[in-house]
Amino acid sequence: KFLQNYQSTANDGRVQFTKQFTSNLSVEAAVKKYTEFFKSSGWTAPSTIKSPVVLLKKAETAMIVVNKGTGEANSVVEVTLLQKK
C-alpha cells in the first residue's frame, strides 16, 4: 500500500522523487531486498546494509529507509531518489 508518492525540484535544478509504502517483509528483509535491487542496476552501496542505506550512481543518490510497521504491515519502506535535472 502506497502511503506517499511525491516529486519536488530544488532551486539548483535537482529533482527528488520519494515513494513510501508498506511491506509484509521484516525490516531487515526489506532493507536487503531493495538494496539488492538497486545494486543489480549498477548502484554502489555500503558493505554493511542497515537502514538508512545511501546508494550512489553517477550524479544520482538514492536513500532507502525502512522502519517497523504497525498492524498488518511488518515494515514501512521509503525510497528517495535525488538526481540532477
**78, 18 Cβ separation under 8 angstroms:** yes
- Better-scored residue on pLDDT, 47 or 82: 82
**pLDDT tens, residue by residue, 40-77:** 999 998 777 888 999 999 889 999 999 999 887 899 99
Q: How far is CA 5 from the centre of its chain?
A: 12
Backbone dihedral angles phi then psi of residue 58, each to the nearest 5 degrees: 50, -125
pLDDT of 28 reads 92
